[in-house]
A and B are shown apart, each in its own frame.
Chain A
Amino acid sequence: MIRYVAGVDIGNATTETALGMLENGNLIRCESGIAPTAGVKGTKDNILGIIQSLKDAASKMGIDYKALDLIRINEATPVIGDFAMETITETIITESTLIGHNPDTPGGMGLGTGKTILIGDLAQAGTDEKYIVVVPEDVDFLDAARLINENAEHGIQIEGAILKKDDGVLVNNRLKRKIPIVDEVEMIGRVPLGMPCAVEVAAPGGCIDLLANPYGIATVFALNTKETRQIVPIAKALIGNRSAVVIKTPSGEIRERRIPAGEILIHGEHKTYRAAVDRGAQEIMAVVGKTSEIRDVTGTTGTNVGGMLEKVRLEMAALTEQDSKDVFIRDLMAVDTIVPKEVQGNLANEFAMEKAVGIAAMVKTHKLHMERLARALSEELGLPIDIGGVEGSMAVRGALTTPGTDKPLLVLDIGAGSTDVCLMEEDGRTKPIHLAGAGNMVTMLISAELGLDNFRLAEDIKKYPLAKVESLYHIRHEDGSVQFFEEAIDSKLYGRTIIVKPEGWKAIKTKKSLEKIRQVRREAKEKVLIQNILRALKTVSLTGNLNEFEHVVLVGGSSLDFELGNMVTDALSYYGIISGKANIRKTEGPRNAVATGLLLSYLEENGYGI
């Protein structure tokens, strides 16, 4: 007699099916199905996705999904993750004193110092002082060049210029005596006049030298020690620019403010530890590391971190229909990062790189209401539904179908909100653990560090490789290989860095180079995912020595990431661990691990041969 049994895994993103055909006590055929998960995991909304996924597998088998004899669904791990970003420093300029930006084409070269003066007021200027001219929008570049030349002939010392329009090169080409010119200064009206000012432009390919150095600024403006300390944030904000302007105003004040970011309280089994968010991720992670078993985590009320931790708690409470008092945060991950933030009081949309901490939290509650879902599904389909084992153990069973694996085996499932790890010992015992920090946190870091403010774009950057459109007929991929095309590439993409998505290219509109974007992407994965994998290994390890593990297998959708598999293999080979993407049932790649595990566990329990 032929029987059909399906294992169904309801994940956060996809619902996967492993459908087995059983005959005479043996599994003779197995097919997979996949569909997007409908609704929040563990709710009745899931039924739609389950049916789609069953249909997919059944059609491959050539049967109707209603012909099934049994469906086994997983005991979903009640884990939810959330993340937040906390900026811990902020640069504030109370009076406009700095213009540090990178216009594409500044004019001239070198350093010029003098008093700021409007170009129209040059007639009143004296010959005993040096000047930096300020050119508003309504002055044409021809007039600007003529006025500067004429006044210079009359003995007025003009040492540099600040322009509103993108005319730097045009003005410079017409000057008899070349001066450094910074153009495209958005808020030219806010440049204080009659103040000591320095303009610096570096040669093509170079960076400004004096104004990005606190002692350089001190030399230019003859500052004392105390004043030099104050201008450090300016110098910091100007590092790497090709051109910059610094103006010294009498009451001008620039501060790097440390924002009170609150404290995280980590409640352990016996003791509560405190970690100040503004001390950075390392300190937080040190505290997390020394807490043997985290019972709960709270944050100072009224701060970002406090609010974020409460939000996670409330969401989970709503999902599981529990009181928020019964929901506990069981893990926390913090990552240091540097984010570009607009300088308050800026003149040309300058950014300063500020320190920030990214925080991810993970909540565990009692069971999700899988029984309820099972009952509803049973009524809908008229089939017996069975709830199988814990997600982690099922994943291990499924992962063991990968050729070349053996017990003891550690399975890593990096999801969107949490990193789930399960260890299967030689004797078959399993040990699941769940960690905060996963795919979404990587996306958040990419978005913040590149200053994108766009989660979907950051998600694409995370998932797909980059390329640069080098001509109208070819692109250069990030690995250096070149690809040519028959048709001309859209001129909107010309010269840009693009994301090579399977369904088409997407331009990233930023001045940041491909190399920089790639570096941020890889570092974000390294900081969150690789670090979390090492943390997971240390947690499940008995000796704390990672060399004790032999096989680490990646399963789940995020292991389809184009570079993560290699990054993990690379990082773990250091410890002599064999690691890589799973290949479930020799055919499915990293997908379908839990569904396959559910099917296998049914077969084992009921004495079928595999």
Chain B
Amino acid sequence: MEYKESAAPPKIHIFCTGIRANLPPAECFSEIRIEEKIESDSRSALGGDAEIRLAEEVGYGIEEEGLSYQIEIGSYEREAVWDASRSSELGVSILVKAGEITVYCRQLKGMSPLFQHESLTLVDARIVGKNAARIVKNKPFSELVQRI
């Protein structure tokens, strides 16, 4: 039996609670689709461009490790993102909310996240993305460079 390499590899979902204000749409790897599904009345409760930039960097980290990702922009709660990690193909999902990056992975029992970081630099956000991909690849995690 011959196996064909997957043309559309499974994706890691990044849930970003933020809205695009002045930031131009990211120059994402062509396969990435950004869904902006935000209820108009909840806009005020959301973050802004900063969250989106973080989410993009997390995505770049995943991409550099050779995996695909999809950024979902909208209003998300922890439970929903945790649920997503359970039901996703790769077993990993990421929440970017209020300047905080949380990585959930199906391997872990309970609701505790694998990584949870506050106020990260963009460089470190990319490393978090890499580490999220490395769960799938079973590779050792990289350490963050600058913690604030």
Q: Contact residues of A with B, CB < 8 Å?
A: 104-105, 141-142, 166-170, 173-174, 470-473, 488, 491-492, 494-496
Contacts and interface: CB of A to CB of B under 8 A. Distances in A.
Closest 8 CB pairs of A and B: A495-B140, A472-B107, A173-B29, A495-B139, A169-B64, A496-B140, A495-B138, A170-B64
Interface in B110-133: 114-115
Contacts, number: 50
Interface in B16-42: 27, 29-30
Nearest to B27: A142
A141 B137 CA distance: 23
Contacts of A141: 60
A495 B108 contact: no
B86 interface: no
A488 B134 contact: no
B140 to A, nearest CB: 4
Interface in B25-82: 27, 29-30, 60, 63-66
A388 to B, nearest CB: 53
Interface string B80-123: 00000000000000000000000001011100001100000000
Nearest to B135: A494
A174 B63 CA distance: 11
A491 B141 contact: yes
Nearest to A145: B27
B133 to A, nearest CB: 10
A174 B134 CA distance: 22
A397 B26 CA distance: 80
Interface size classification for chain B: 20 to 34
A105 B66 contact: yes
B103 to A, nearest CB: 10
Contacts of A168: 64
Interface of B: 27, 29-30, 60, 63-66, 105, 107-109, 114-115, 134-135, 137-141
A141 B29 CA distance: 12
A260 to B, nearest CB: 41
A491 B115 CA distance: 9
Contacts of A105: 64-66
A201 to B, nearest CB: 13
Contacts of A170: 29, 60, 63-64
Given A105-B64, A142-B27, 8 more contacts: A168-B64, A170-B29, A173-B29, A471-B107, A488-B107, A492-B141, A494-B135, A496-B140
A492 B108 CA distance: 15
Contacts of B63: 169-170, 173
Contacts of A488: 107-109
Contacts of B138: 470-471, 494-495
A506 to B, nearest CB: 14
A524 to B, nearest CB: 25
B65 A169 contact: yes
Contacts of B137: 495
Contacts of A169: 63-66
Given A473-B107, A488-B109, A491-B115, A104 B60 contact: no
Given A471-B107, A471-B138, A174 B114 contact: no
B64 A495 contact: no
Nearest to A495: B140
Contacts of A471: 107, 138
Nearest to B131: A491
Nearest to A507: B140
A470 B134 CA distance: 12
Contact of B114 (A173, A470, A491): A491
Contacts of A491: 114-115, 141
A169 B29 CA distance: 11
B141 A167 contact: no
A3 to B, nearest CB: 61
Contacts of A142: 27
B23 to A, nearest CB: 14
Nearest to B65: A105
Given A472-B108, A495-B138, A167 B64 contact: yes
Contacts of A472: 105, 107-108, 114
Contact of B27 (A104, A174, A470, A473): A174
A559 to B, nearest CB: 34
B65 A495 contact: no
A491 B116 CA distance: 12
